[in-house]
Structure formats: structure tokens, C-alpha cells
Amino acid sequence: MNKTVKLEDLGSKDFKATWDYQEKLFKAILDTKIKNRREDAGLQTDNHFLFVEHPHVYTLGKSGDLSNLLLSESQLIEKGATFYKINRGGDITYHGPGQIVGYPILDLDNFFTDIHKYLRFLEECMILTLAEYGLKTERSPGETGVWLDVGTPFARKICALGVRASRWVTMHGFALNVNADLGYFDNIIPCGIRGKAVTSLNVELGIDKVDETEVKQKILKHFKVLFEAEFTNS
């Protein structure tokens, strides 16, 4: 089993270009697995972890409801945002500057073949990272992602999750609000959940800007422990 993960920080990159790149990496792993199955080739499969920040974009998961996007096409253009229907689970979400997006493209045969466990580990990675900033975050029953003040009128989401998996290969991932412009969430019903707010790390800490490089380092530290992985620069 190959537990080495190739790490790439793509900086700021268009959502569609990044999605295409994810698909390319995803397909390469699947092709290797199919070759191994057909030819008993014994080839090692790769694992990848992409960090990226997207320009303003709304994405709708395959089971999502388009009515959760509250903007017309002309209003999207006005706000400098794009919109895509994509092939992950979950409903609608927003990506934009000040948000750390992580796309682990893993062959779970190298780790564990359990999608539920995979999602819980991604959540745990965020929970442990945010604990280092003094925040007590947790899961909300029946709702993926990471939240504050669950079960109160002040419940708010700080990290969204949405993944796709095929033959135990994953793509898409998480979006953690670090220095996000929360006004863009007003244009959707986030994740299709009404009446619950969204927050960002800088807002919770009461500061203008959190060091995003530091947050990424903490995420990788906890991911490495949870998945018993090693990182290498791609």
C-alpha cells in the first residue's frame, strides 16, 4: 500500500481548470487500478492532495436543488461569479478568495475502504486544526461539515465537505472559510440547509486576517496523523 501523498498548492486557480486537473489525476489512478485488475500488473497507485483558492464560484452537487441558488445568470455576472453543476455529493456551496479548498485525490485501497470513515477523518482534520485556534467545533448530526454551537440558535458552519468516489478513488473535498467574504453566502441556501449561518475563522477570532499558510500547515499535520500518510512535493 502506497501511503505517500503528492502535495501541490495551486494558488489561485479557476474552478473549471482545477476540476479538469482533478479529473485527469482521478482517471490516471482509475486506469492503473483497472490495468492491475485485468493484467495483474501490480502497479502502485498514486495519491494527491491539492490546495487551491478559487475566484468567486458557486457549485451544485449532483443531488442538489438549483432553487438553492438565489441569483439569476445576469446577477452572477454582476457579482463576478461563475456557476457549475458538478459530480460530487451534496448540494450548493460557494468558493472564493480567503477560503482554503483541499482536494485529496486518494486511492483508499492504500488507506482504508470506508467512505463514511473518510468523511469523518476529513471533518476530524478540520476540528483538530480549528482547536489550535481555540475554537470548539463539531459535527452536526445528519449534516456533513464542521460547525460551531451545534444544537443552538447560533449554529454556524465553518467548513463544507463534498466528495466523489469511484472504485475507492476520491476527488473533490473540503472548503474551510479562513478569511472569506461571507456576503457571497447570502446568495445561496448553503448546502440546502435553511436557517443556519456560515462563519469564517477570522470572524470567530475577531481579527482582520488569519495567516492562511499557517492554517494549511496545521491541516497537513493532522491529515498526516489521521491517514498515517507521508507528503512529498509534486
Would you state the pLDDT for residue 191?
60
Would you state the pLDDT for residue 229?
98
E strand or H helix that includes residue 11: strand 4-12
Residues annotated as part of the active site: 191
Residue with cell 472504485: 167
Would you state the pLDDT for residue 182?
95
DSSP 25: H
DSSP 98: T
- Would the annotation count 173 as a binding residue? yes
Residue pair 175/158 in contact by the 8 Å Cβ criterion: no
Euclidean distance between CA atoms 156 and 163, whole angstroms: 21
Would you state the pLDDT for residue 63?
82
Residue with cell 453566502: 185
How open is the CA angle 91-180-103, to the nearest 5 degrees?
55
E strand or H helix that includes residue 216: helix 212-227
- pTM, full prediction: 0.95
- Would the annotation count 96 as a binding residue? no
Residue 46 contacts by C-beta under 8 Å, 6 or more apart in sequence?
2, 6, 25, 28, 29, 32, 107
Closest CA to 134 of 201, 213, 180: 201
Residue 182 sits in a domain of what CATH number?
3.30.930.10
Residue 220 contacts by C-beta under 8 Å, 6 or more apart in sequence?
7, 49, 231
Would you state the pLDDT for residue 193?
62
Euclidean distance between CA atoms 56 and 75, whole angstroms: 13
Would you state the pLDDT for residue 91?
86
Would you state the pLDDT for residue 189?
84
- Would the annotation count 91 as a binding residue? yes
| Segments of the chain scoring below 50 in pLDDT | none
By residue range, what is the domain housing residue 51? 4-233
Residue pair 48/5 in contact by the 8 Å Cβ criterion: yes
E strand or H helix that includes residue 74: helix 73-78
Would you state the pLDDT for residue 143?
86
Residue pair 85/60 in contact by the 8 Å Cβ criterion: yes
Q: How many separate domains does the chain show?
A: 1
